[in-house]
Amino acid sequence: MQAPHDYDNPRTREPWLAVLLAVLVTPLVAMLYVGRWWLGFGYLVLQLGAPLAAAWLAMKLGLPWMTAASAAYVLVIFAGASHAHTLASARRAQFAGPWYTRWYGMAGVWLVLAAGVFVFRAVLYEPYRAPSGSMMPALLPGDFFLVNKLPYGNYGTFGIDFSPAAAWAADPEPGDVVVFRFPPNPSVRYVKRLIGLPGDTIEVRGSEVLVNGAGVTRAAAPRPEALAELHTVVASIEELHGRRYTVVHDERKDGHRAPTHTWTVPDGHFFVMGDNRDYSNDSRNWGFVPRENIIGKAVLVWWSIDPQHPETVRSERVGLRLP
């Protein structure tokens, strides 16, 4: 007969181990260890939601949002570790826990959750950050945006890429804002607006764009509020295949742009341009984007901060759908 505190018994719950699991892994695993799976998933929701709620509240009160989010996260971990310690202390004797309290059960639940996150990012939606102003005003530096990866069929994340686009996958459409692997260096991700499809002839005359001999419909537009301080910016609304979006030019470049250029898009490739036309490194400079390089379509700004002042949230851009 085993002693009640036999540490070799895998069903004995050790407070120190419960705390270690909560701090180094997650309170979810610590709660599985002590046989309280429903509390574990409750702590998982808190672990994800409390920092967001704290950041939102701090933003409304004019307080540092990153500090508030970090404090909320640490508080949830501390609460989970303390709670797990209390529950484990009551189970240092024989504990007839279910399968998920064993090491393989805890590892299995954690792996299933990790696999779920991987599949979500690889196949459905993946977050990216706008690194430059080449897509202003649709995307500003410091914008965090979601990319819908499902339609285009090129899947992968965390440096792991699946096979090229499935036969059933849809092709991107003119006007889509797409994220793709930069052709000269596929390890780098670029975001641009798709202008030309395979077989299209693209002609750029100064600031004017023509597709198959027809000029892209343009109309004058007021300078976007986000670019109000850039006094040399001239804005226009373009309409391409029924998609309307705003592009900007620098009036100081008028008369100094490159002469007219024409490209014919080869099969299986696409022509892309940045909305900030005078300050974008795009197909005009390095050529076409192969179909298999296109990752997904940018659809929504979910967070936005001022790169010069990281504690400043541009709340008016949160939730903004991309044109």
Catalytic center residues: 134, 192
Phi, psi angles (nearest 5°) of residue 207: -100, 0
* CA distance between the termini of the chain: 71
SS3 of residue 190 by DSSP: strand
**How far apart are alpha carbons 167 and 148 in whole angstroms?**
18
- For residue 297, give the 3-state DSSP assignment: strand
31: helix, coil or strand?
helix
What six digits make up the tokens of 91? 């189970």
CA distance 233 to 130: 20
Over the range 288-314, which residues count as b (16 or more CB within 10 Å of their CB) and which as e? bbbbbbbbbbbebbebbbeeeeeeebb
Cα-based distances in Å from 41 to 31, 201, 225: 8, 54, 43
Which phi and psi (to 5°) does residue 91 adopt? -130, 30
Q: Which residue has the tokens 């950041």?
A: 55
Helical H segments across the chain, by residue range? 15-24, 27-33, 37-61, 65-89, 103-119, 283-286
Take residue 136 and report the two structure tokens written for it. 């202003």
- Two structure tokens written together for 34: 């002590």
Question: Is residue 127 left, alpha or beta, with left meaning phi > 0 and alpha meaning psi from -120 to 50?
Answer: beta
